Amino acid sequence: MATIITSLLIGLTAGAFGALIGIGGGLIMIPLMVEVLKLTQHKAHGTSLVALVFTGIGGATIYALHSAVDFTAAILLALTAVFTAPLGARYCNALVEKKLRKYFGIFLIFCSILLILKPYLADFISIAPCHIKTAVLLITGAATGFLSGMMGVGGGTIMVPVMVILIGFSQHTAQGTSLLVMVPAGAIGAFTHWKMGNVEKSILGALISGIILGTYVGGNFAYLFSDNILRLIFTVVILWMGIRYIIAPIPE
């Protein structure tokens, strides 16, 4: 029972954060599943991807009701992401536990730096011309799909800045579009992890229930909080987790 309640709370936290700032919530879920539920790194990544499909469905629905989803951009991003997500999942499965943990820590730090710089990058990078926006979205989708499958995350930390800085989307539209892309890309990556045995099925029900509730709360509150405050809190949390992943000893 304690495991079920803990899984529910992890899902609730991840869903709320994910919907608030337009990411899947895997950056929160994976460290918590490893540290609290004692899942292996591989199982945490696979289980996270299965749960993130529901984050995407719930979050994208709420953003769409506020007319904050660009369906054309979502299709372009997903077109390449669905092909590279299984490749990322297979690469994840091929890595030993120690390397995967270190890579995930580095990925967390990279994402935190990207989130810190996001408000300032727009001052130095011009919005892409119309004729190359399609190429930008396709390339971004390919990179995001691979990272999603490998790291067990939705990829919003990559997609959202690209859409805001290079495509010229508003913050809310970029977040809503990112959540929608997580559905097909995450589903393909999750299916690959499932076949390889990297999904902890016993906690999925509680985890997904928490995510659905958290996504509803986070999505509706996204318009009430300052984006800068949310980004700062989230950045500090994942930066701390990333440093811990890199310096912590790996159990044999």
In a domain, 58, yes or no: yes
Quote the pLDDT of residue 177.
92
Q: Distance between CA atoms of 62 and 108, rounded to whole angstroms?
A: 27
Q: Around Cβ 180, how many Cβ atoms within 10 Å?
A: 25
In a domain, 12, yes or no: yes
- Which DSSP string corresponds to 121-186? HTTTSPPPPHHHHHHHHHHHHHHHHHHHHHH-S--HHHHHHHIIIII---HHHHHHHHHHHHHHHH
In a domain, 56, yes or no: yes
Both tokens assigned to 166: 């290079």
How many folded domains does the chain comprise? 1
The residue type at 76: L
Whole-prediction pTM: 0.77
Quote the pLDDT of residue 251.
47
pLDDT tens, N- to C-terminus, the chain (252 residues): 778 888 889 988 887 876 666 566 777 888 888 888 888 888 988 898 888 888 788 778 888 988 889 999 999 999 999 999 999 889 888 888 777 778 878 887 887 787 777 666 655 555 556 767 888 899 989 988 898 888 877 777 778 778 877 787 877 788 889 889 989 988 888 888 899 988 988 888 888 888 888 877 776 776 666 667 766 766 776 787 778 777 765 544
In a domain, 252, yes or no: no
Quote the pLDDT of residue 250.
52
Closest by CA to 151, choosing from 24, 56, 252, is 24
- Domain, as residue range, for 86: 2-247
Both tokens assigned to 66: 């506020």
Q: b/e per residue, 226-249, with b = 16+ CB within 10 A?
A: ebeebbeebbebbbebbeebeeee
